[in-house]
Structure 1
């Protein structure tokens, strides 16, 4: 209702226009009754008078249907769809804003395909709730009430017979729809799983082909698709039972009315025109009821989808600004880990009581065996995760005292696998600072040793580079990512295995860029090849989440401890 509230005027106008749309056809049975009883059955009128009256009546009726009805129909459809689409826009807009605030912990336990399914498919279903639940149901209720009132004015007893089956209709609706919501939710979840599976496989198509796994993956997709089919068929079976029972009730009622009305006409208790009009109104009474069955199905599906949408909306933020948190002003870049421990949810500790200081402008390299917690340390500095205990100080202040956005604005990251978006090279560099000028973009690219290869691309900086930068080599993607950080010009830099997957030539070019970028900035480097970090002011050796050694290259080599052993393993001089 929070999303609906801004558009209540449009919804109200749509319902009023809808009443006109549904109200005009309600005149037809009355016109039919008048033609049969008062024109054709009028004994005191000549044939010419009857024909003349009929022509005048048809002229007025046609004028109503040709002049009033079309604009009413147009505006009713337009406002209904306009309102539904605007509300969908607002929901998706807020959902995307919400998704950007959720922590990496949330994304580490969710499949991106399922999230996409909720934002696209399930939000689309909520449109049905708005159009059906907020508009159509009220119009159908209005039609039913209007028809019953008109029928009561013609014959109260026959009206009671006409509505006698309504209680059975209500009971059957309640019985069947209590389970339909659960079945619809399971069906939506199964569809989300198919979408998630498909999304992952499309991203990993090169792996599937390189291992010749097409047949295996076909079987895996068959399982996912089969699960959705089973859930869809369960839903369909129950839905079919609902329609079978409810539509039988709505079909029996007119038959009963025709039988009773026919007997009354034979006994001269009821006029033929009234019987014909009553039978026509039975159609107008039970058609909205049938629509309500369809609407109920639509609403159940929409509500099940809305459950999934608002379950996502209700996800709590793990990382958010504390009350009174301030901006990170006048940054120098000193970073202190003060007795920091960390674990992912209920898992065992990844980091244990880390204590170290990296002064402003220093370069600190973090080394150790895979799985030791090096990348986790890098994720804690920009608050992708919060520490389990202890604290991280930046410029003497706990990072939780800063506004998250202002802290991250002063941190630049170059990762092993940087995300490159399916847009132009210029767009990807501008993500460092969207308001930057063309000259600044080119300067950043030159500093990152990227300008030359960019100019060789078909459209230079305007070249579209495909999803995940598929048209660029690994080294070229890294240089675009580094150009992005140059443009951002942060005080704290994080290089997480930034050159580990590159050939020697690319690594050399990128090392040049990284050295240039790190000048006079506090820099953290996670490196696999120890030869690339011998220049670091501090080298931190992490073993099983603990700080095993700290010092510069010469100090640690002399110590002949963990770092020395790692260095010997790599057979470096």
Structure 2
């Protein structure tokens, strides 16, 4: 299980209890078959057909032994042989079609499950992702969902096929000879009783195995990427991480071996009984033939053939129960994630807001990441449309948190945030965030081209629009100097670009969005003074057309702001313009002295 906060753990436990029984899970699984009901009907017809054909073929064998051979009729013999072969051929062709439909349905269901989980995880708040390891998420989507494919491709179809085969063959056996039929099915309960116990053992082992697989996936995800490799190289911890990987890998191997071995004695017993029953039929059938002469050799052979076919679905039932119980561990983990609800979501009263001016108000806002300490305490301020405001303070004062609350990456614990007099909770999330642009200190770029990374802001942007914002961000000349220009692949997380180049690209991407509100969170921290000055001069006219919030340690970037809010320990302790704060705010003056006067 992942390391999660108390509320998330409580939610997961609730979901886990909800899906605690195999019956609940079974009906949830059936739901995924509904879109493919037409294919399922065709499969049902193929199952009925093969069940009947499996009975017809032994009948031809009986007639060969009892009619064609005693009469020494070659023509009749060939007729029965051809009919038997034809039955086998048709049955095989039908099975091929059934196999294709099985694969078609199972692959599509797995696709649907992965899509549902990915979509649901996309709706989760930032809080969820800060408390869950990325490897855990990858494991649920790949390992867990991939591990249940066999349930959809084989198990459910085998259950239906097994039921039809068992019923049709049992009725045929009782119709032929009820005494031999009783001998044939009397051992069936012996097959099924131990399967429940075996299933419970495999469930426990499978649950532990999936947890270990998630840990293994997490190590792979964290270490086998650019950032992870660089960190391990710089700190020489490759051997330590390798030992950690080997330990978990060894645990996974041992658990998988245990799971495979569980029930081997049970399976061996089933095989012995499967072989013993036909011998009993030969024994009792032979005695009836010798003593009463009211059964033929062909009927005995047919009976043995049908009994062999009967035990095939019985074997399937016993193994399926074990597999289903084992799969319960995977389904529980999958449905846990499918049932998660985001703590930030649209309400029934949320509205799509198409235009905003950019008036912002925080009213008595309180917020904490954990219950132990408050990050923001009674935050109150107003920003007029078109103003440029800045937030300054020591690390941990709460500056970045304010920027997270405005687009509802997190929700306030108490108080309210308004844009143009409308509570942000009354916006739909999509419309709220469409009006807000954000440039962060930790710039994230996808491993694709520069142009594609820019188009995330506006998918239908023209080349001229892209060039215009890149010029504004002082990155255009650099881009066209590259061999592939705007089609240059940036590498994982933009590894091929410098920190300053990534930040300028991020600024260009935000400007392409044309937001009404722009947030700069340490957006020029990786730029040299010359680049910072060039960007500032270029984007100043653009910032005047929107409301801008600047969060910075460098006071040089915010000296010209209309209002500067000074934060300390989660509170706004003073506000005003640069000159006013130098006179009346000792905290601000200390920051200024350290960055400017002491440098001189």
> Which has the higher mean CA deviation after the structures are superposed, 381-390 or 54-63?
54-63
Residue of structure 2 in register with 1:310 after alignment: 335
- Whether the 8 Å CA contact 1:482–1:513 is kept in 2: the answer is no
Q: Judging changes above 3 Å, is the alpha-carbon distance between structure 1 residues 460 and 38 closer, same or farther for their aligned structure 2 residues?
A: same
SS of structure 1 residue aligned to 2:41: helix
Tell me, in whole angstroms, the C-alpha distance in 2 between the residues paired with 1:426 and 1:382.
25
Deviation (angstroms), 1:242 = 4.3
Determine the C-alpha separation between the residues in 2 that align with 1:373 and 1:257. Answer: 82
Aligned residue pair count: 566
Partners in 1 of 2:263 and 2:395 — Cα distance? 53
Give yes or no for contact 1:128–1:302 (8 Å, CA) kept in 2. Answer: no
* 5+ long unaligned stretches in structure 2: 1-29
Who is 1:176 aligned against?
198
CA separation of 1:517/1:246 partners in 2, compared to 1, >3 Å: closer, same or farther?
Answer: farther
- Cα drift, residue 269 of structure 1: 5.0
Counterpart in 1 of 2:267? 243
3-state SS in 1 of match to 2:418: strand
Match of 1:476 among 501, 508, 515: 501
What CA distance in whole angstroms lies between the structure 2 residues aligned with 1:53 and 1:506? 96
Deviation at 1:517, TM superposition (A): 4.2
More divergent stretch after superposition (408-417 vs 228-237): 228-237
Matched, 1:423 2:434: no
CA distance in 2, matches of 1:109, 1:290: 44
- Which residue number corresponds to residue 136 of structure 2? 114
Q: 1:26 to 1:106 in 2, by over 3 A?
A: same
Describe the shift of the 1:69–1:158 C-alpha distance in structure 2 as closer, same or farther (beyond 3 A): closer
Q: Distance in 2 between matches of 1:416 and 1:334?
A: 25
Indicate the residue corresponding to 1:63 in structure 2: 86
Q: Residues 246 and 503 from structure 1, CA distance in 2 versus in 1: closer, same or farther, beyond 3 angstroms?
A: farther
Match of 2:251 in 1: 227
- The separation in 2 between residues aligned to 1:425 and 1:198, in whole angstroms, is 27
Match of 2:583 among 542, 558, 564: 558
Residues 325 and 403, structure 1, Cα contact 8 Å, conserved in 2: yes
TM-score (norm 1): 0.93
Query: Of residues 44, 48, 56 in structure 2, which corresponds to 1:19?
Result: 48
- Aligned to 1:352, which of 377, 380, 392? 377
1:331 aligns with 2:356: yes
Asked if 1:38 corresponds to 2:67, the answer is yes
Equivalent residue, structure 1, for 2:34: 5
Alignment of 1:120-519 (within 5 A): 120-203=142-225, 204-267=228-291, 268=293, 270-512=295-537, 514-519=539-544
Offset from partner CA, 1:320-375 (integer Å, 9 cap, x none): 11222212233111111111001125342111111111211111211222222221
2:21 corresponds to? none
Q: TM-score, normalised by structure 2?
A: 0.89
Q: CA deviation at 1:159?
A: 1.0
Gaps of at least 5 residues in structure 1 are none
Indicate how the Cα distance of structure 1 residues 524 and 153 shifts in structure 2: closer, same or farther if over 3 A, else same. Answer: same
- In the alignment, is the contact (CA less than 8 A) between 1:128 and 1:298 conserved in 2? no
- Distance, in Å, in 1 between the alignment partners of 2:266 and 2:526 is 59
Shift of 1:485: 1.0
C-alpha distance 188-517 of structure 1, shift in aligned 2 (>3 A): farther
Deviations 1:69-103 (A, max 9, x none): 45423321221111222222222222222122111
Give the C-alpha shift of residue 57 in structure 1: 1.8
| Cross-structure match for 2:74 | 51
CA contact (8 A) 2:448 2:489 kept: yes
Question: Counterpart of 1:84?
Answer: 106
**What secondary structure does 1:145 align onto?**
helix
241-250 vs 284-293, which deviates more? 241-250
Three-state SS of the structure 2 residue aligned to 1:315 is coil
Q: How many angstroms apart in 1 are the aligned matches of 2:539 and 2:264?
A: 65
Contact 2:47–2:161 (CA under 8 A) maintained in structure 1: yes
CA RMSD of aligned residues (A): 2.2
Once the two structures are superposed, residues 263-311 of structure 1 have per-residue CA deviations (whole angstroms, 9 ceiling, x without a partner) of 3344345422222222222221112222333433443343322211111
Relative to structure 1, the CA distance from residue 568 to residue 175 in structure 2 (aligned partners, 3 Å threshold; closer, same or farther) is same
Report if the CA contact (8 A) 2:564-2:575 is conserved: yes
**Which digits, 9 at most, give the CA deviation of each residue in 1:527-558, with x for residues without a partner?**
12222221211222221211122122111111
- Deviation sequence 1:162-198 (CA, Å, 0-9, x none): 1111122221122222333233222222212211121
Closer, same or farther: CA 405–284 of 1 in aligned 2, 3 Å: same
Match of 1:530 in 2: 555
TM-superposition CA deviations, 1:386-415 (whole Å, max 9, x none): 100011111112111111110000000111
CA distance in 2, matches of 1:312, 1:239: 31
1:508 Cα deviation from its structure 2 partner: 4.2
Contact 1:180–1:238 (8 Å) recurs in 2: yes
User: What's the offset of the Cα at 1:246?
Assistant: 4.0
Could you tell me which residue of structure 1 aligns to residue 5 of structure 2? Answer: none
